[in-house]
Every structure is written in structure tokens, then in C-alpha cells.
Chains A and B, each alone.
Chain A
């Protein structure tokens, strides 16, 4: 997964980018993220995925909460809803229920997802709402300038943990697996092409897909989730990993210190749209069963 195979020539690269056409999914607003932020890979990865899947701009709604990652909808040329801190999933669920023809992508960071928004994740997952949830996990609150988050490492000194963080971090992958998410994967902002592939796969999945993206915060974290550390720690899932085996996925997810990238688990089961449609047919007495 080492991407530095040949020197990059900017002219050549620009040609390549223009020819590809995915850039048209970007809006005219320039991202407000710090140079080097892992979130640039997200904008790039998602536009790649939309282009590859051939989804029209008008049929996509990107929904976000609050945080650095949540500024995302402004930077893509789709419909967007920048909502409240922690509430991305219920709003996204409402959008999908309101118009099931829309492709809904929910975006947020680790604080938005696992701290203030933690109560909504199990329900979106168990209902199998047909949307993609991308969590850019940098283990810190960036927008409020560097406080500890639920995925901050023990011992991490931040402005809210000046004498070192003592709280054990959450394991998002294990949480999502046990919540019943029907697609769980992990990617790394430093492996951009793999990330784009994973976003594409997550979006292609019919049901609730959760992709955790390990993403360095270059401004407020110089010790833990740095590119240097994650480059060393990140590994691929074992070649023989069976993504239909929940317990195998759990075992891999438990190795938080050596994060494996790839599709941990996927399962085909009825989505919320389908469950509701079946309920409505039963209620109307038009269910063939």
C-alpha cells in the first residue's frame, strides 16, 4: 500500500485529474481545513466514488454534523445539509425516509459521532438505514482547537487533558459490529486510493455502511495519530479474512493498536426502506405472504 512508487510531476498529475472528471463533483468553495489534514483525502475519495458509481449530483445529499469533518458538504457540488453537533444520523435517516431515491452520505468526526452523537449510531445501524456513514477519526476535537475526544489515546496531553488523558478510548469498529451495522470497514487518509476504493464499496452496499477513516490532525496531534505512526501501524486485513464472519471481524477489530484496513464485515439484509414498505403492504392487506 505504499503509494510513493514514482515521483509526482504536477503537470502530468493535473492532466490526469482533469481527464478523470471527478473534480466536477467539487464545489467552488475551497476547503477550510489545515494544509496536510487527512480530510482532503475524504473530499477526493468521495468525489472519486461518486464519479465511479455514476451517481448524479442532484441525487446526492451529503449530511454532516459539527466539527472539522462536518464542513464537508460545502466543498462538494451536491445537495448538502450541515446540521447540528451529533445529529447527522437522525437527520440523514429522515432525508432517506423523505425521499428514498436520494443517495445519502453522512459525514462526521469522532467527537460528533461517538461523544455527542453516540446514542444515534446503534439505531441507524440496527434499522439498516440505506446510507453511508463516513467517520473521519482523528482522536481530537480540531474545530474547538484540540481537546480530547472519545477516541483519544490514554496519556494524550490536550488542552482539556493537560495532565494526560486517563479515559480508555472507544473501539468504534467493535461498537458498530455489535450494533448490527451491515457493512463495517476501515481506511486510512494516508492511503488515498484505498480510501477511495473503500468509500466506493461502502456506497455500493445496500444498507447501512460504516467506514471509519483514520485521519491525522496535523495541527493538534503531534504524538499519536500522526502520518508517521499510522504509516507504521496500519496493516491490511489478513488475506483469508471472511467478511461474512462476525466473530472474525470482532477479533480483528479488537486489535486497535494495529489497525487493519479493509472490509471487516458485510451482510445482506433488508434495509429500512424495504422493512417499511413491507410493513405498509401488510397494513394495506396487499402483502402476498
Chain B
């Protein structure tokens, strides 16, 4: 699947926890981004901090837009053969396997990676440990030596790597920078001395036309950037994988600009405090994962009932319960869309890539304030931790609009929950003259006074006011890609999986299958009209998602009353492009089912 028109290589670095695998991958992707390439990268690591768990850092470097990682890597670098051996198979034919061929101890039969390399793969053995020791008197810089080697192998310029090494270790002693630079240069010399992979060519990346600033960030980093640009004023959080890095980054970035940052005692108080702050008019947010969202469900209901704006980021991981804390899954859709007691509709946004994380996070506050409701930003571990190059918008695009204070009408009490044409009631903030009122989680009348008789009217108000959110300016709540008009197969997707869906769709198109893909970014309220139009255009609809029950498929077919074909995987890792492609081919060949059009390859059908 090489992109012959330009550079498109994927490097996988595999080692044991403590080998510096992730750090090595980090330098690789930053250097590639500095060179101007598009980068998509994703690290897989064990839940333990130290010990012998497996770490893999995969980096795709391309001159064209890419949507996901490639299934096959061009290069596998082994820092630990025991962990890397099972991944030899992911290296493409004529791809390279880089390993240490200078053994310092006896290895059991089959314990060395060289015994597992396929005939079609190209072995690149060199003495990684020895070079590291010669350069820095320590085997600990093996992870930097291999970077130099890869750079040498592809004839990549060393300067970008040296720049990244310098900035990465800027807070450490100069000797650390020097040692790592020496290790890199030693690896570079070794890499330049060997024969090249003949079908890999690194070309100059395409010059960015408008000279816009391109930065590389993770989904979590993009959320933070979006929040900062939107002028986040208060943040309350509790550590939980994979959302913690949002909290850690905001803890660094908010205080210098006067933001209020507080690590709370649990997730319940995190969202409670965010709702308290949101009630005062502060741009307030929290971030968590599925288990934390479960704890927050009651408070979300209060936010809906009392009509308080608040932003909640949810980065999903494998569940239920503690589940798979360091593995990805899309199984908290039900909880995000429906979680809590009563009829409690909220707005749920599910960006599909890192750029989307940035834009949705930046817009989330204004959406929450406009519709006076909690907004959930639903992402997952794969999106949280994967790196992509992003072009941020111009400054101040998302800053809060100046508030127009409400005026008290003489002789008429202020109605916080006044029934209006667009169902949104003018909101007074505490501290504003004469507009005192009480908000409550009890059902209440226009004044906010407890009242049961008005329940139906107020329930309608709280649901109707959200309907217009699908027209929120600047937000693509859904978008169709690929062939227009009537197609054989339509792939419908949400969240991080949409990258794999797009890759599969473009490959299916290349095979001559008429197909298109649609992403749905707003999961609540659902853009039903756009979905219906898409269903009407497609003979068959395929919904691939990373969960067992088909939560998105259920949501969509429930809303439209139309059947879909499901592709459900609960495997802890991203969806495999070829599996989607195989399903598209199958649907294309088989044609629509005359019974009800639906066939299941997963459960819950």
C-alpha cells in the first residue's frame, strides 16, 4: 500500500517498559513533523510504569494526508526481541527489521528475532548496545542510537533530530543532551554505512501553501489547546487513564494566565465544582474516562435540569468496570448519550481526529453556553494518545463573546426558566443586580420554584432547545466522503474509528466499488435528516465500531428505524482497515439482503 507519489513510511519501535521506546518514538515523530511531513503516531504501552511490559510506538510519516496508521509497517525496530518477535509479521514484504546482532549472553533457541524474520523481509542487524556503550558509556541510549540508524537508512537530515533531542532534554543537565546527541550521531553513521531499502524514498514534503503554523499534537493535547484558545477559566479534574494528560497539561498552562485549576477528591466533585463554576458564568470543564463518567452521571442530570453550561471530556477505554485502562474502545456511547436518571438530553460531540478534538474543544464552551446544557466531548484512548499534525486556527477565534447583562423588568419577577420561542431562557449570573433566583434539580416552574404540574412543559423545553444545535455555525455535525449520489455501500462511523473507515473506503473505491463514508460528530442530538439522506443514497449501510454491542448502530437504527450491518470489535486496539474492506467487498458482492437488509458480523443484531 505504498504511496508511490510521495513519502509514506511507517516505523514501529518495540521494546520493554523502561527501554525508552516511547521516548524514542516521540523524538522520531517530532523530527518528522519538523521536516514538514504529516505524522500520525500511536503508542501502545502496558498499565505498569516499570517492569517488563511491552511498549510499541508506531509512527506513520507521509507527504499526503493520511487518516490512520497503516496495517503494515515498513520498519520494525526491536529494542527487546521477546516483545518484538510477535510483531515481525506486521512488517511488509521487502520491509526492514532492525535488531541487535551483537549478543552479550546466550539466547534460548528461537529467542532471537533473526530466527523469525520472513524470507521476504530484509534484516538489518547491527550492534546497537555496543555503539551505545561506545558513544555514551551506557547501554541506556540504545533507543537514541536506533533513531540515528533509521535516519541514516532513509537519508533523513540529522539536524531536526538534534533539535528535538535538545528541546526534549532541555530541563536536564547539558551532559544528557550531549550524550543523546552523541548516541544519535553514532547511530546515524552506522545507518548511512549500510545499503538502503530500495523502494523507500523520502522526498521533500509538500510546502504548506499558506505558510500556516503546523503543529503536532495528541488528541488530548488538542483538547487542551482548544480549551486554552476558548479562554477556559476553571478546570476541575481527577486522575484517570487515558484522560490524565489533559489535566496535567492544563495544570501547567492555566495558572500563568490566571486560570483556576483544582485537582478534586473524586470525579463527582470534579463535575460538581465545574457545574458550580459554570453557574457563575465561568468557562468550566472537567475530563475523565468511562468509570469517571459513570460517577458523574447524576451531576450531568443536575446540569441538564438546572440548565447549567459545563464541558466534560470523556476519553473512553476498555470496559466495563476498571476494564482495560490502557486499551482503546468505543463502548461509553450509551453512557455519554443516555447516562443518568430521567429524560436528560445533553449535547455529545465525538470528533474523529486530532484536528477535530481541537476544534470541538474550542467550540464546546460556546455551545454549552448557547444551549445552557452540559456538553460531552467523547473521544477514546486511541484519539487521546495518537499524534497528528494539525493546523490551528487564527488567534482568538474561540474567545468568549462579551456578555450582555440582563435587564430587570420592573414589577415582574425574573424568570430564570422563562418559556420562549426558541426554548432558551435568558440566564442571569449570580452577582447581577436584582435578578436573584434559585436553580434546582427538582422539577420547577419558570421562576425556578419546585413544581410537579409543569413537568411535561419543561421536559419539552429542555429537549426542544437542543434541536437547533445541529446547525451550530462552524461545526460539521456530520460529513460525507467519497462517491456522491447513489452508492452500493455506505460506511457510517464515529470517533477515532473513522480514520480506518476512510482508509478502507478509499481502497474500496480504488477497487471499483461504489462507496462512500459518513462521519457523525454530533451524537446527541443526532443529525437525523443528514443520516436519512445518507441511508436513502446507500444500498447498504455498514457500521464499524470498537465495541461489542453496536452502540452507535443501535442509536442510528433506533432513530431512523432502518437496519444496518454491524462490524463490532472489542479487541483493545484500533479497527483493522482490511477487516472493514473485507466487509465492504462482501456487502458489494452479495448485494442488499431481501429479508431486511441487515446482516450481523458482531453481536446485538
Q: Which A positions have Cβ atoms within 8 angstroms of B?
A: 29, 57-59, 61-63, 73-74, 77-84, 87, 89-99, 101-102, 119-120, 122-123, 272, 276, 279-280, 282-285
Contacts and interface: CB of A to CB of B under 8 A. Distances in A.
Contact of A91 (B276, B429, B431, B434): B276
Given A81-B439, A87-B272, A98 B265 contact: no
Contact of B277 (A59, A77, A98): A98
Contacts of A81: 276, 279, 306, 438-440
Nearest to B276: A94
Interface of B is mostly: mixed
Contacts of A282: 255
A91 B273 contact: yes
A127 to B, nearest CB: 8
A87 B265 CA distance: 12
B430 interface: yes
Nearest to A280: B255
Nearest to A281: B255
Contacts of A74: 438, 440, 449-450
Given A102-B430, A280-B255, A283-B255, A82 B279 contact: no
A120 B430 contact: no
Contacts of A59: 430-431
B156 interface: no
Contacts of A83: 272, 275, 302, 441
B154 to A, nearest CB: 41
A99 B280 contact: yes
A90 B438 contact: no
B438 A73 contact: yes
Contact of A87 (B234, B268, B433): B268
Contacts of A119: 265-266
User: Which of B262, B282, B438, B440 counts the most A-chain CB atoms under 10 A from its CB?
Assistant: B438
A94 B431 contact: no
A279 B255 contact: yes
Given A279-B255, A284-B256, A93 B280 contact: no
A178 B436 CA distance: 36
B262 A82 contact: no
Contacts of A272: 262
A97 B442 contact: no
A90 B284 contact: no
Contact of A80 (B268, B433, B439): B439
B549 interface: no
Contact of A58 (B268, B431, B440): B431
Given A82-B440, A84-B299, A94 B258 contact: no
Interface in B296-336: 298-299, 302, 306
Contacts of A122: 265
Closest 8 CB pairs of A and B: A94-B276, A80-B438, A94-B273, A98-B280, A98-B277, A90-B269, A283-B255, A90-B272
Nearest to B269: A90
B439 A98 contact: no
A276 B257 CA distance: 12
Contacts of A96: 276
A93 to B, nearest CB: 5
B426 to A, nearest CB: 15
Given A74-B449, A90-B272, A102-B431, A97 B234 contact: yes
Nearest to B444: A82
Given A83-B272, A272-B262, 8 more contacts: A81-B438, A83-B302, A84-B298, A90-B273, A94-B274, A95-B279, A99-B431, A285-B256
Contacts of A276: 260-262
Nearest to A77: B436
User: Which of A77, A91, A122 counts the most B-chain CB atoms under 10 A from its CB?
Assistant: A91
Given A94-B236, A94-B276, A87 B269 contact: yes
B353 interface: no
Nearest to B439: A81
B272 A91 contact: yes
B258 to A, nearest CB: 6
B18 interface: no
A184 B98 CA distance: 67
Contacts of A77: 436
User: Which of A59, A63, A80, A283 counts the most B-chain CB atoms under 10 A from its CB?
Assistant: A283
A121 to B, nearest CB: 10
A99 B281 contact: yes
B389 interface: no
A30 to B, nearest CB: 11
Contacts of B275: 83, 91, 94
A91 B260 CA distance: 15
B452 interface: no
Interface residues of B, number: 50
Given A84-B299, A99-B431, A279-B255, A90 B268 contact: yes
B302 A123 contact: no
Nearest to B280: A98
Interface in B274-293: 274-282, 284
Contacts of B264: 90, 123
Contacts of A84: 272, 298-299, 302, 441
Contacts of B201: none
Interface string B399-441: 0000000000000000000000000000001111111111111
A79 B436 contact: yes
B233 interface: yes
A101 B441 contact: no
B135 to A, nearest CB: 37
Nearest to A62: B438
A99 B439 contact: no
B363 to A, nearest CB: 21
B273 A97 contact: yes
B438 A93 contact: no
8 contacts: A81-B439, A82-B438, A82-B442, A83-B272, A97-B234, A97-B262, A276-B260, A284-B257
B277 A280 contact: no
Contacts of B280: 94-95, 98-99, 102
B302 A92 contact: no
User: Which of A90, A93, A119, A280 counts the most B-chain CB atoms under 10 A from its CB?
Assistant: A90
A78 B258 CA distance: 28
A102 B138 CA distance: 59
A34 to B, nearest CB: 17
Given A80-B438, A95-B276, A87 B299 contact: yes
Interface in B153-188: none
B424 to A, nearest CB: 20
A247 B299 CA distance: 38
Contact of A284 (B255, B434, B441): B255
B258 A280 contact: yes
A282 B254 CA distance: 12
Given A82-B442, A120-B265, A123-B269, A97 B260 contact: yes
A84 B306 CA distance: 11
A43 B432 CA distance: 23
A177 B171 CA distance: 42
Interface string B445-469: 0000110000000000000000000
A8 B281 CA distance: 47
B436 A98 contact: no
A81 B275 CA distance: 11
